[in-house]
Amino acid sequence: MSLVAIGCNHRSTPLDSLERMTVAPDQLPKALADLGTAENLSEVVVLSTCNRVEIYAQAERFHGGYHDVREFLCRHAALAPENVADHLYALHDIEAVRHLFSVVSGLDSAVVGEHEILGQVRTAWETAREEGTLGSSLEPLFRQAVECGKKVRTETAIGRGIASVSQAAVAMAQDRLDGLSDRKVLVLGAGEMAEGTVKTLAAAGTQEILIANRTWERAQRLAGVCGGRAVVLDDLTEALAHVDVLVTTTGATDLILEQTAVADLIDSRQGRELLIVDVAVPRDVDPEAADLPGVTLLDMEAIGEFIEHQMEGRISVVVDVEHIVTTEVDRFHAISSAREVAPLIGQLRGQANTIVDSELQRYSTKLADLEPAEREAVEALARGVVNKLLHEPTVRLKDAAGRARGERLAESMRDLFDL
Protein backbone atom coordinates (compact mmCIF):
# COMPACT_ATOMS: atom_id res chain seq x y z
CA MET A 1 0.00 0.00 0.00
CA SER A 2 1.42 3.40 -0.95
CA LEU A 3 0.30 7.01 -1.22
CA VAL A 4 0.09 8.25 -4.81
CA ALA A 5 -0.50 11.68 -6.36
CA ILE A 6 -1.40 11.46 -10.04
CA GLY A 7 -2.53 14.36 -12.18
CA CYS A 8 -1.82 17.15 -14.62
CA ASN A 9 -1.52 20.91 -14.35
CA HIS A 10 -0.99 24.12 -16.29
CA ARG A 11 2.68 23.25 -16.82
CA SER A 12 2.27 19.68 -18.02
CA THR A 13 -0.87 20.00 -20.11
CA PRO A 14 -2.18 22.26 -22.92
CA LEU A 15 -5.19 24.30 -21.82
CA ASP A 16 -7.61 22.58 -24.21
CA SER A 17 -6.79 19.17 -22.68
CA LEU A 18 -6.65 20.43 -19.09
CA GLU A 19 -10.11 21.97 -19.30
CA ARG A 20 -11.56 18.67 -20.55
CA MET A 21 -10.10 16.82 -17.57
CA THR A 22 -11.32 19.41 -15.05
CA VAL A 23 -13.82 17.98 -12.55
CA ALA A 24 -16.56 20.52 -11.81
CA PRO A 25 -17.81 20.82 -8.20
CA ASP A 26 -21.12 19.11 -9.01
CA GLN A 27 -19.19 16.22 -10.59
CA LEU A 28 -17.00 15.58 -7.54
CA PRO A 29 -19.30 13.12 -5.69
CA LYS A 30 -19.52 10.83 -8.72
CA ALA A 31 -15.79 11.16 -9.42
CA LEU A 32 -14.95 10.19 -5.82
CA ALA A 33 -17.40 7.27 -5.97
CA ASP A 34 -15.88 6.01 -9.24
CA LEU A 35 -12.30 6.28 -8.00
CA GLY A 36 -13.16 4.89 -4.56
CA THR A 37 -14.47 1.68 -6.11
CA ALA A 38 -11.51 1.23 -8.48
CA GLU A 39 -9.68 -2.08 -8.11
CA ASN A 40 -6.37 -0.67 -6.87
CA LEU A 41 -7.48 2.47 -5.00
CA SER A 42 -8.90 2.89 -1.52
CA GLU A 43 -8.83 6.35 0.09
CA VAL A 44 -9.26 9.15 -2.50
CA VAL A 45 -9.21 12.95 -2.66
CA VAL A 46 -9.78 14.84 -5.94
CA LEU A 47 -8.25 18.32 -6.22
CA SER A 48 -9.57 20.11 -9.33
CA THR A 49 -8.93 23.83 -9.89
CA CYS A 50 -8.44 26.12 -12.86
CA ASN A 51 -4.77 25.09 -12.91
CA ARG A 52 -4.76 21.38 -12.06
CA VAL A 53 -6.55 18.08 -11.73
CA GLU A 54 -4.89 15.79 -9.16
CA ILE A 55 -5.98 12.56 -7.54
CA TYR A 56 -4.46 11.63 -4.18
CA ALA A 57 -5.07 8.04 -3.13
CA GLN A 58 -3.88 4.99 -1.28
CA ALA A 59 -2.96 2.41 -3.93
CA GLU A 60 -2.64 -1.33 -3.44
CA ARG A 61 -0.12 -1.33 -6.28
CA PHE A 62 1.47 1.80 -7.75
CA HIS A 63 1.13 0.81 -11.40
CA GLY A 64 -2.37 -0.51 -10.83
CA GLY A 65 -3.33 2.75 -9.13
CA TYR A 66 -1.87 4.77 -12.00
CA HIS A 67 -3.88 2.70 -14.48
CA ASP A 68 -7.11 3.26 -12.51
CA VAL A 69 -6.59 7.05 -12.39
CA ARG A 70 -5.65 7.25 -16.06
CA GLU A 71 -8.73 5.27 -17.07
CA PHE A 72 -10.96 7.51 -14.95
CA LEU A 73 -9.55 10.66 -16.61
CA CYS A 74 -9.95 9.10 -20.06
CA ARG A 75 -13.62 8.38 -19.38
CA HIS A 76 -14.25 11.75 -17.78
CA ALA A 77 -12.55 13.79 -20.52
CA ALA A 78 -13.48 11.48 -23.42
CA LEU A 79 -9.82 11.34 -24.44
CA ALA A 80 -7.72 8.45 -25.73
CA PRO A 81 -5.33 6.90 -23.16
CA GLU A 82 -2.25 8.18 -24.98
CA ASN A 83 -3.64 11.74 -24.99
CA VAL A 84 -4.02 11.57 -21.21
CA ALA A 85 -0.86 9.63 -20.32
CA ASP A 86 1.35 12.09 -22.22
CA HIS A 87 0.44 14.81 -19.73
CA LEU A 88 0.22 12.94 -16.42
CA TYR A 89 2.77 13.09 -13.63
CA ALA A 90 2.81 10.44 -10.92
CA LEU A 91 4.42 10.68 -7.49
CA HIS A 92 4.34 8.28 -4.59
CA ASP A 93 4.95 8.20 -0.84
CA ILE A 94 7.14 11.03 0.49
CA GLU A 95 7.37 12.78 -2.91
CA ALA A 96 3.57 12.81 -3.11
CA VAL A 97 3.50 14.41 0.34
CA ARG A 98 6.07 17.01 -0.70
CA HIS A 99 4.08 17.81 -3.84
CA LEU A 100 0.83 18.37 -1.91
CA PHE A 101 2.58 20.61 0.63
CA SER A 102 4.14 22.62 -2.23
CA VAL A 103 0.75 22.93 -3.93
CA VAL A 104 -1.07 24.16 -0.82
CA SER A 105 1.77 26.63 -0.17
CA GLY A 106 1.30 28.18 -3.60
CA LEU A 107 4.66 27.09 -5.01
CA ASP A 108 3.10 25.08 -7.84
CA SER A 109 0.45 27.61 -8.87
CA ALA A 110 0.28 29.75 -12.00
CA VAL A 111 0.44 32.66 -9.54
CA VAL A 112 3.18 31.72 -7.08
CA GLY A 113 1.85 32.26 -3.58
CA GLU A 114 -1.82 32.48 -4.57
CA HIS A 115 -4.14 32.33 -1.58
CA GLU A 116 -7.08 30.63 -3.37
CA ILE A 117 -5.36 27.23 -3.50
CA LEU A 118 -5.41 26.91 0.30
CA GLY A 119 -9.21 27.08 0.34
CA GLN A 120 -9.44 24.76 -2.67
CA VAL A 121 -7.33 22.08 -0.96
CA ARG A 122 -9.45 22.41 2.19
CA THR A 123 -12.65 22.05 0.12
CA ALA A 124 -11.29 18.94 -1.66
CA TRP A 125 -10.43 17.42 1.73
CA GLU A 126 -13.84 18.21 3.23
CA THR A 127 -15.71 16.92 0.16
CA ALA A 128 -13.83 13.62 0.31
CA ARG A 129 -14.74 13.31 3.98
CA GLU A 130 -18.42 13.99 3.21
CA GLU A 131 -18.39 11.38 0.44
CA GLY A 132 -16.72 8.77 2.66
CA THR A 133 -13.48 8.39 0.70
CA LEU A 134 -11.13 9.55 3.48
CA GLY A 135 -9.38 7.22 5.92
CA SER A 136 -6.56 7.03 8.41
CA SER A 137 -3.90 7.90 5.80
CA LEU A 138 -5.31 10.84 3.82
CA GLU A 139 -7.14 12.50 6.73
CA PRO A 140 -3.95 13.41 8.68
CA LEU A 141 -2.10 14.15 5.43
CA PHE A 142 -4.57 16.82 4.32
CA ARG A 143 -4.94 18.20 7.84
CA GLN A 144 -1.21 18.87 8.04
CA ALA A 145 -1.11 20.13 4.43
CA VAL A 146 -3.64 22.84 5.30
CA GLU A 147 -1.64 23.68 8.43
CA CYS A 148 1.47 24.01 6.26
CA GLY A 149 -0.34 26.36 3.86
CA LYS A 150 -1.44 28.59 6.72
CA LYS A 151 2.06 28.65 8.22
CA VAL A 152 3.62 29.67 4.91
CA ARG A 153 1.27 32.61 4.53
CA THR A 154 1.77 33.67 8.16
CA GLU A 155 5.56 33.43 8.30
CA THR A 156 6.60 34.55 4.78
CA ALA A 157 5.77 37.29 2.28
CA ILE A 158 4.71 34.82 -0.43
CA GLY A 159 1.15 36.19 -0.52
CA ARG A 160 2.08 39.84 -1.03
CA GLY A 161 1.61 41.57 -4.36
CA ILE A 162 -0.25 39.57 -7.03
CA ALA A 163 -1.36 36.50 -5.12
CA SER A 164 -4.32 35.13 -7.10
CA VAL A 165 -5.50 34.54 -10.65
CA SER A 166 -8.23 37.13 -10.16
CA GLN A 167 -5.64 39.76 -9.13
CA ALA A 168 -3.52 38.85 -12.14
CA ALA A 169 -6.54 39.19 -14.46
CA VAL A 170 -7.24 42.70 -13.20
CA ALA A 171 -3.55 43.65 -13.37
CA MET A 172 -3.45 42.53 -17.00
CA ALA A 173 -6.52 44.63 -17.81
CA GLN A 174 -4.92 47.64 -16.12
CA ASP A 175 -1.75 47.05 -18.12
CA ARG A 176 -3.61 46.82 -21.43
CA LEU A 177 -5.90 49.82 -20.84
CA ASP A 178 -3.54 52.08 -18.88
CA GLY A 179 -5.72 51.91 -15.78
CA LEU A 180 -9.41 51.28 -15.08
CA SER A 181 -10.53 54.56 -13.49
CA ASP A 182 -12.54 55.52 -16.56
CA ARG A 183 -13.55 52.00 -17.61
CA LYS A 184 -16.64 49.83 -17.28
CA VAL A 185 -16.08 46.15 -16.49
CA LEU A 186 -18.56 43.28 -16.58
CA VAL A 187 -17.78 40.16 -14.54
CA LEU A 188 -19.56 36.98 -15.62
CA GLY A 189 -20.03 34.57 -12.72
CA ALA A 190 -20.52 34.96 -8.97
CA GLY A 191 -18.31 32.30 -7.40
CA GLU A 192 -15.05 32.57 -5.45
CA MET A 193 -13.05 33.67 -8.50
CA ALA A 194 -15.63 36.32 -9.37
CA GLU A 195 -15.64 37.65 -5.81
CA GLY A 196 -11.85 38.00 -5.82
CA THR A 197 -12.09 39.77 -9.19
CA VAL A 198 -14.71 42.36 -8.18
CA LYS A 199 -12.89 43.17 -4.95
CA THR A 200 -9.66 43.74 -6.90
CA LEU A 201 -11.52 45.81 -9.50
CA ALA A 202 -13.02 47.98 -6.78
CA ALA A 203 -9.60 48.45 -5.15
CA ALA A 204 -8.20 49.46 -8.56
CA GLY A 205 -10.71 52.32 -8.77
CA THR A 206 -12.75 50.89 -11.65
CA GLN A 207 -15.41 53.36 -12.79
CA GLU A 208 -18.29 50.86 -12.95
CA ILE A 209 -18.54 47.14 -12.18
CA LEU A 210 -21.38 44.99 -13.51
CA ILE A 211 -22.04 41.41 -12.41
CA ALA A 212 -24.04 38.89 -14.44
CA ASN A 213 -24.83 35.42 -13.14
CA ARG A 214 -27.32 32.61 -13.70
CA THR A 215 -28.59 33.10 -10.13
CA TRP A 216 -29.90 36.64 -9.69
CA GLU A 217 -29.57 36.63 -5.89
CA ARG A 218 -25.87 35.78 -6.07
CA ALA A 219 -25.27 38.51 -8.65
CA GLN A 220 -26.99 41.03 -6.34
CA ARG A 221 -24.98 39.88 -3.32
CA LEU A 222 -21.70 40.26 -5.21
CA ALA A 223 -22.73 43.67 -6.53
CA GLY A 224 -23.23 44.75 -2.92
CA VAL A 225 -19.69 43.64 -2.07
CA CYS A 226 -18.07 46.00 -4.57
CA GLY A 227 -20.63 48.76 -4.96
CA GLY A 228 -21.45 47.49 -8.43
CA ARG A 229 -24.63 46.67 -10.30
CA ALA A 230 -26.22 43.28 -10.98
CA VAL A 231 -27.28 42.45 -14.53
CA VAL A 232 -29.91 39.92 -15.53
CA LEU A 233 -28.26 37.17 -17.57
CA ASP A 234 -30.84 37.61 -20.35
CA ASP A 235 -29.58 41.20 -20.71
CA LEU A 236 -25.94 40.13 -21.07
CA THR A 237 -25.66 41.04 -24.76
CA GLU A 238 -27.04 44.53 -24.18
CA ALA A 239 -24.71 45.09 -21.21
CA LEU A 240 -21.69 43.94 -23.18
CA ALA A 241 -22.38 46.55 -25.82
CA HIS A 242 -21.36 49.28 -23.37
CA VAL A 243 -18.43 47.88 -21.34
CA ASP A 244 -14.70 48.06 -21.96
CA VAL A 245 -13.73 44.76 -20.31
CA LEU A 246 -15.40 41.38 -19.84
CA VAL A 247 -13.95 39.03 -17.21
CA THR A 248 -15.42 35.51 -17.32
CA THR A 249 -15.12 33.29 -14.25
CA THR A 250 -17.92 30.70 -14.42
CA GLY A 251 -17.68 26.99 -13.71
CA ALA A 252 -19.68 26.07 -16.82
CA THR A 253 -18.61 22.94 -18.68
CA ASP A 254 -19.56 24.40 -22.09
CA LEU A 255 -18.74 27.68 -23.82
CA ILE A 256 -20.79 30.67 -22.68
CA LEU A 257 -19.87 32.85 -25.68
CA GLU A 258 -19.36 31.27 -29.10
CA GLN A 259 -17.42 33.16 -31.76
CA THR A 260 -20.64 34.02 -33.60
CA ALA A 261 -22.14 35.57 -30.45
CA VAL A 262 -19.03 37.73 -29.95
CA ALA A 263 -19.13 38.72 -33.65
CA ASP A 264 -22.76 39.86 -33.30
CA LEU A 265 -21.75 41.78 -30.20
CA ILE A 266 -18.97 43.62 -32.04
CA ASP A 267 -21.50 44.96 -34.54
CA SER A 268 -23.43 46.63 -31.69
CA ARG A 269 -20.34 48.32 -30.23
CA GLN A 270 -19.86 50.78 -33.08
CA GLY A 271 -16.13 50.27 -33.39
CA ARG A 272 -15.30 50.31 -29.66
CA GLU A 273 -12.69 47.69 -28.73
CA LEU A 274 -13.43 44.96 -26.20
CA LEU A 275 -10.92 43.31 -23.89
CA ILE A 276 -11.97 39.83 -22.74
CA VAL A 277 -10.11 38.13 -19.89
CA ASP A 278 -11.23 34.51 -19.63
CA VAL A 279 -9.99 32.97 -16.37
CA ALA A 280 -12.41 30.04 -16.44
CA VAL A 281 -11.28 26.44 -16.89
CA PRO A 282 -12.95 25.08 -18.96
CA ARG A 283 -12.97 28.28 -20.97
CA ASP A 284 -16.10 30.43 -21.15
CA VAL A 285 -15.23 32.13 -24.44
CA ASP A 286 -14.56 30.50 -27.79
CA PRO A 287 -10.78 30.89 -28.47
CA GLU A 288 -11.58 31.76 -32.10
CA ALA A 289 -13.14 35.00 -30.86
CA ALA A 290 -9.57 36.30 -30.64
CA ASP A 291 -9.53 36.48 -34.45
CA LEU A 292 -12.35 39.02 -34.55
CA PRO A 293 -11.47 42.69 -35.24
CA GLY A 294 -11.65 44.87 -32.17
CA VAL A 295 -11.42 41.94 -29.74
CA THR A 296 -8.46 41.13 -27.49
CA LEU A 297 -8.88 37.79 -25.75
CA LEU A 298 -6.60 36.78 -22.88
CA ASP A 299 -6.86 33.31 -21.33
CA MET A 300 -5.05 31.33 -18.62
CA GLU A 301 -2.01 30.81 -20.85
CA ALA A 302 -1.63 34.58 -21.29
CA ILE A 303 -2.11 35.07 -17.54
CA GLY A 304 0.61 32.50 -16.88
CA GLU A 305 3.08 34.42 -19.06
CA PHE A 306 2.14 37.71 -17.41
CA ILE A 307 2.64 36.28 -13.94
CA GLU A 308 5.99 34.78 -14.84
CA HIS A 309 7.32 38.28 -15.52
CA GLN A 310 5.72 39.66 -12.37
CA MET A 311 7.33 37.01 -10.18
CA GLU A 312 10.93 37.82 -11.10
CA GLY A 313 12.87 38.97 -8.07
CA ARG A 314 10.90 36.94 -5.51
CA ILE A 315 13.37 34.07 -5.37
CA SER A 316 14.33 34.74 -1.74
CA VAL A 317 10.69 34.44 -0.65
CA VAL A 318 10.32 31.16 -2.52
CA VAL A 319 13.41 29.82 -0.74
CA ASP A 320 11.82 30.67 2.62
CA VAL A 321 8.64 28.82 1.65
CA GLU A 322 10.56 25.79 0.41
CA HIS A 323 12.34 25.62 3.78
CA ILE A 324 9.00 25.54 5.62
CA VAL A 325 7.65 22.90 3.23
CA THR A 326 10.70 20.69 3.80
CA THR A 327 10.37 21.06 7.58
CA GLU A 328 6.67 20.19 7.47
CA VAL A 329 7.27 17.20 5.19
CA ASP A 330 9.91 15.86 7.59
CA ARG A 331 7.54 16.39 10.52
CA PHE A 332 4.72 14.58 8.74
CA HIS A 333 7.02 11.70 7.87
CA ALA A 334 8.18 11.35 11.47
CA ILE A 335 4.63 11.42 12.83
CA SER A 336 3.18 9.06 10.22
CA SER A 337 6.11 6.65 10.49
CA ALA A 338 5.66 6.34 14.24
CA ARG A 339 1.91 5.91 13.78
CA GLU A 340 2.29 3.20 11.12
CA VAL A 341 4.68 0.97 13.05
CA ALA A 342 3.42 1.64 16.57
CA PRO A 343 0.89 -1.25 16.58
CA LEU A 344 3.48 -3.73 15.28
CA ILE A 345 6.12 -2.63 17.79
CA GLY A 346 3.52 -2.75 20.53
CA GLN A 347 2.66 -6.34 19.59
CA LEU A 348 6.33 -7.32 19.54
CA ARG A 349 7.06 -5.80 22.96
CA GLY A 350 3.84 -7.26 24.34
CA GLN A 351 4.84 -10.71 23.13
CA ALA A 352 8.32 -10.29 24.65
CA ASN A 353 6.88 -9.26 28.02
CA THR A 354 4.52 -12.24 27.96
CA ILE A 355 7.48 -14.57 27.41
CA VAL A 356 9.42 -12.97 30.28
CA ASP A 357 6.40 -13.30 32.58
CA SER A 358 5.95 -16.91 31.54
CA GLU A 359 9.61 -17.80 32.15
CA LEU A 360 9.67 -16.07 35.52
CA GLN A 361 6.59 -18.03 36.49
CA ARG A 362 8.15 -21.27 35.27
CA TYR A 363 11.23 -20.67 37.47
CA SER A 364 9.29 -19.25 40.40
CA THR A 365 10.00 -22.29 42.58
CA LYS A 366 13.74 -22.04 41.99
CA LEU A 367 13.63 -18.32 42.70
CA ALA A 368 11.53 -18.68 45.84
CA ASP A 369 14.53 -18.67 48.20
CA LEU A 370 15.80 -15.33 46.88
CA GLU A 371 15.42 -12.17 48.87
CA PRO A 372 12.83 -9.71 47.35
CA ALA A 373 15.62 -7.41 46.18
CA GLU A 374 17.43 -10.32 44.53
CA ARG A 375 14.23 -11.49 42.83
CA GLU A 376 13.63 -7.95 41.51
CA ALA A 377 17.20 -7.90 40.18
CA VAL A 378 16.65 -11.17 38.28
CA GLU A 379 13.39 -9.87 36.81
CA ALA A 380 15.01 -6.57 35.83
CA LEU A 381 17.89 -8.48 34.22
CA ALA A 382 15.51 -10.61 32.15
CA ARG A 383 13.47 -7.61 30.96
CA GLY A 384 16.62 -5.55 30.31
CA VAL A 385 18.14 -8.23 28.06
CA VAL A 386 14.90 -8.46 26.06
CA ASN A 387 14.62 -4.67 25.73
CA LYS A 388 18.20 -4.36 24.50
CA LEU A 389 17.66 -7.15 21.96
CA LEU A 390 14.53 -5.42 20.62
CA HIS A 391 15.91 -1.87 20.65
CA GLU A 392 17.87 -1.91 17.38
CA PRO A 393 15.19 -3.74 15.32
CA THR A 394 12.45 -1.33 16.47
CA VAL A 395 14.59 1.76 15.78
CA ARG A 396 15.37 0.51 12.27
CA LEU A 397 11.71 -0.27 11.66
CA LYS A 398 10.68 3.25 12.73
CA ASP A 399 13.34 4.85 10.52
CA ALA A 400 12.29 2.83 7.46
CA ALA A 401 8.52 3.23 7.97
CA GLY A 402 6.65 4.81 5.08
CA ARG A 403 9.02 3.40 2.46
CA ALA A 404 9.24 0.10 0.62
CA ARG A 405 12.11 -1.02 2.87
CA GLY A 406 9.93 -0.38 5.91
CA GLU A 407 7.17 -2.58 4.49
CA ARG A 408 9.69 -5.38 3.90
CA LEU A 409 11.07 -5.09 7.44
CA ALA A 410 7.56 -5.04 8.91
CA GLU A 411 6.57 -8.15 6.96
CA SER A 412 9.75 -9.94 8.03
CA MET A 413 9.06 -9.04 11.66
CA ARG A 414 5.55 -10.44 11.40
CA ASP A 415 6.87 -13.69 9.91
CA LEU A 416 9.81 -14.10 12.31
CA PHE A 417 7.82 -13.42 15.48
CA ASP A 418 4.44 -14.74 14.30
CA LEU A 419 2.72 -11.38 14.90
Q: What is the pLDDT, as a whole number, of residue 403?
A: 65
CA 316 – CA 332 distance, rounded (Å): 25
Q: Look at the pTM and tell me if it is higher than 0.75.
A: no
Residue 128 has pLDDT above 90, yes or no: yes
Specify whether domain 2-161 bears CATH 3.40.630.40.
no
CATH topology of domain 165-310: Rossmann fold (3.40.50)
Query: Mean of the pLDDT values across residues 210-239?
Result: 91
Share of the chain above pLDDT 70, in %: 97
Q: What is the mean pLDDT of residues 326-353?
A: 83
Give the pLDDT mean for 178-195.
92
- Across the chain, mean pLDDT equals 88
Distance (Å, whole) CA 131 – CA 30 = 9
> Among all residues, which ones are annotated catalytic?
50
Q: Locate the domains of the chain by residue range.
A: 2-161, 165-310
> What percent of the chain clears pLDDT 90, i.e. is strictly above it?
46
Give 160: exposed, middle or buried? Use CB within 10 Å, 0-12, 13-18, 19+: exposed
Residue 281 has pLDDT above 90, yes or no: no
- Alpha carbon distance 236, 239 (integer Å): 5
Residue type at 126 in one-letter notation: E
The pLDDT-based confidence of 82 (bands split at 50, 70, 90) is confident
Whether the pLDDT of residue 406 is over 80: the answer is: no
Segment 267-295 shows an average pLDDT of 91
Predicted local distance difference test score (pLDDT) of residue 110: 76
Contacts 24+ apart (CB under 8 A), 390-393: 390/348, 390/349, 390/352, 393/348
> pLDDT at residue 86 above 80?
yes
pLDDT at 404: 66
